[in-house]
Structure 1
């Protein structure tokens, strides 16, 4: 069963579809710096330019009263993109966009002027998924270098004043406090939109977040990192540059190719493309290859996955560090990581309160500090998704009786109730799950008693899922094998018209 999927609607209904249909965008062409087209990988799937959902920040701002149609469409576009690609694009205001571009220039100059030495490696980790000590995740600040990942970064965390080894206060890139404030606001607006899409109460995630503003002596759990990949002066840059020149089609990535941030949300603004995220189909998608001057990429992390009981998938990502030999500055980016407070708990209680099903693995609350020190593997969360061949799908579509007959085995005829249960399980696995996977929906079923009352309720929690997958009207939204026999028949006939007649033919054939 697919994990962590949002309810979705047809992609044709998305708002703000500029630059998605391939038509030239005069504004983009006039403002965007022309860069070399992204190189191709040996795996053709890795160079897909995804049509991410694009929303404007001003349209995500929630207001009192009934939600406007524009707000609901904007939330729908955002959540569809997170379900399909585990990422979305948010368009900022012109003033905020100019601030971030200025911040990128400042970060580029900061790293360019700073000499690199192996003795400076170590320390932080950027918070939430970095390579530092997990116990110090909420204390990282200042300059940090990781030669193995060809990465340099400067962590800005309000409440901490970084110092050089000689005790002198370190001079950071300019504008970090202002950019921290802007990106913090953006991330909270996105969280509120996700909360709305899941039918949670407003400000659901407030208890997990830092105070606004911070109280005296408080240190921010969230962090803003100015990052620089593959600066030529870094050790090892020459070797990977030579490799890139020998094979122009080769892409090189950091050693950690299946990274998952332990954040609620991560926001990224970079001066060159190179961020790849796995989509719903397990393909590597270049998510920042078609960004405008006001656009930033946002993707969810493990903390949000845990707090929403698996309804929102964390993004599995990697960063290209090769093919930058022509750049004297490398690839600079601003990365804002919205983190939960270390003393908060991830419990999923709000999901249960909203009527969502919560699996056993999410029902035990966990302290954020303990969560941050726990190892999480991408392979454990997302097993390899091997697409079955048409032949395999065809074989899987045969029912239990057909398989037994084809194999020539003589078995005792199943009682009707048992046959109904097996058929309902098969249809759930093959038909309903296929519909849900294609639309990015995570199936969560009610109990039979609860859902019988939901049928008569106007505001039932399972209504969106029922509508999206075309669940038969009047049939409780539960596992089909838990339905009464009459409801099972209606369920099967809805997804396989003529099923009853085919069963009668099979019975006649087996007697003959």
Structure 2
């Protein structure tokens, strides 16, 4: 990991993520919780494949090194990557991007790559086996995320490729084998291709925000260098201590859209300063689980599970349009008006209570004491629930007032499921203590809010509108 004091990425064994009939096992629940917490903090996690798969990954990476090493130094014009968004599901074979000092071979089942200059092309060995191996891993991870979000089993089946592919079908998912910074590749000048930051040579600057448009991406490389930006805004080296059968999985834009923004996509870049004197560069295998082009991304499953869906996610989006559209990172990550998959630290509290207190501090007509008491109890309860969820690695979605009125008395509701998961006391309202009498609210605040007294409500009424209180500062 990068030396920024952050905890390591979550490590989960792939066999623990494979679901089985009946109630979930303790190992499955622990693996799902570890995976989700790691995705929340870093948008990435480490998955441990079965030990027998380590040899297959290693031999395929060796084949990839030999494949790119025998490529010519100067790419011809017909194999230059044009970054045409309309070709997102049609790429196949070898192409190069001189500006990024990157070479790629895309393996897409059902699509035969063209042979350059009518010459026989021999692709890297083992791609069929690796495609199957990493593809299965990606689907298991996706199902685990669905379980964590309280969605039904395999909710994304309709937008994924058939397994196996039907006759004459072309895979939307792709296995991209890449080579970065091969010394013999002289497609562009070194200083035009990279950016120097904090003594590191990186393939993208901190302001370009490269984001995959896949649902998930599973990556295995022969050398460390993949950095992902965490929810603190720090760039973290995520593949610095991988074992032979371990790989990195990170989330993409399509999953962000399909989950109504609950799962943030990973911002990533490649750091190449450790490749000096290496004759092969940095080689990697990246399986990208993609939605089918003739389907739509919609949030019906999220809505059915009781999750709030913001206006920008209400309408279905055709996959082909989504893949060809630009998605500025500032619009994706600088919004605070929708629930996110991030877990704020315990001293920061929840974003929504902060916004509510700021709104209450504005110069307006003072609220009656009973309403202020209810709002204060609601804020404290919400923060305590968030603290418990952070420690247990549980994703929360807070209800609106109208939703909560029906959820509290329902037998099966998002409130009830989450209350059971975090061990919340029976009979205590989960998000909105609006049905508690004032005495119970005061008792709750005296228990959970240090410094609260029964006379505090009277003190609040003496505070002028717009003047912050001691609990706002808290």
Band the TM-score falls in, shorter-chain normalisation: 0.7 to 0.9
Comparing 270-279 and 458-467, the one that deviates more: 458-467
Distance 1:133 1:84 in 2: 32
* Structure 1 residue 397 displacement after superposition: 12
- Deviation per CA, 1:344-365: give whole Å up to 9, x if none: 1111111122222222222211
Distance 1:428 1:279, change over 3 A: farther
**How many residues of Structure 1 are paired with residues of Structure 2 in the alignment?**
449
Q: TM-score, normalization: structure 1? A: 0.76
Deviates more, 1:356-365 or 1:221-230: 356-365
Q: How many Å separate the matches in 2 of 1:397 and 1:238? A: 48
- The corresponding residue for 1:177 is 128
Q: Distance in 1 between matches of 2:441 and 2:292?
A: 47
1:51 and 2:8 correspond: yes
TM normalised by structure 2 equals: 0.82
2:252 aligns to what? 301
Is 1:152 the counterpart of 2:109? The answer is: no
CA positional deviation for 1:459: 3.9
Preserved contact between residue 37 and residue 393 of structure 2 (Cα < 8 Å): yes
Query: Alignment partner for residue 461 of structure 1, among 414, 422, 430?
Result: 414
Preserved CA contact (<8 Å) 1:270 1:331: yes
Residue 78 in structure 1 maps to residue 32 in structure 2:
no
1:337 and 2:284 matched = no
Q: 2:399 aligns with which of 423, 441, 446?
A: 446
The Cα of 1:418 is off from its aligned counterpart by: 4.7
SS at match of 1:166: helix
Aligned partners of 2:72 and 2:185 also within 8 Å: no
User: Structure 1, residues 65-100: CA drift from partner, whole Å, max 9, x if none?
Assistant: 222222222222222211122111111122222111
Structure-1 separation of matches of 2:355 and 2:401: 27
CA distance in 1, matches of 2:327, 2:210: 10
Equivalent residue, structure 1, for 2:472:
none
Report the equivalent of 1:4.
none
On the 8 A contact 1:472/1:490 being kept in 2, the answer is no
Partner of 2:54: 97
Deviation string 1:438-457 (CA, Å, 9 cap, x unpaired) is 87665423344543443345
Provide the rounded CA distance (Å) in 1 between the counterparts of 2:61 and 2:149.
34
**Equivalent runs, 1:79-478 vs 2, <5 Å:** 79-120=36-77, 132-235=83-186, 239=190, 250-255=199-204, 257-383=208-334, 414-420=367-373, 423=376, 427=380, 443-457=396-410, 459-463=412-416, 465-466=418-419, 474-478=427-431
**How far did 1:285 drift?**
1.0
Whole-Å Cα distance in 2 between the matches of residues 121 and 160 of structure 1?
Answer: 18
Deviation string 1:265-305 (CA, Å, 9 cap, x unpaired) is: 10000000000111222211111001001101011111111
Q: For 1:109, what is the secondary structure of its paired residue? A: helix
Aligned equivalents of 1:132 and 1:400: distance in 2?
44
Question: Secondary structure of the equivalent of 1:96?
Answer: helix
CA distance in 2 between partners of 1:144 and 1:401 (Å): 53
State the shift of 1:433 in Å: 6.3
Aligned equivalents of 2:320 and 2:225: distance in 1? 31
CA distance in 2, matches of 1:83, 1:153: 30
Call closer, same or farther: CA 1:508–1:443 in 2, change over 3 Å.
closer
Between stretches 54-63 and 148-157, larger displacement belongs to 54-63
Q: Give the 5 Å matches for 1:5-16.
A: none
The reply on whether 1:61 has 2:27 as its aligned counterpart is: no
Could you tell me which runs of 5 or more consecutive residues in structure 2 were left unpaired when the two chains were aligned.
337-343, 465-474
Gaps of 5+ in 1: 1-37, 125-130
Q: Distance in 2 between matches of 1:446 and 1:504?
A: 25
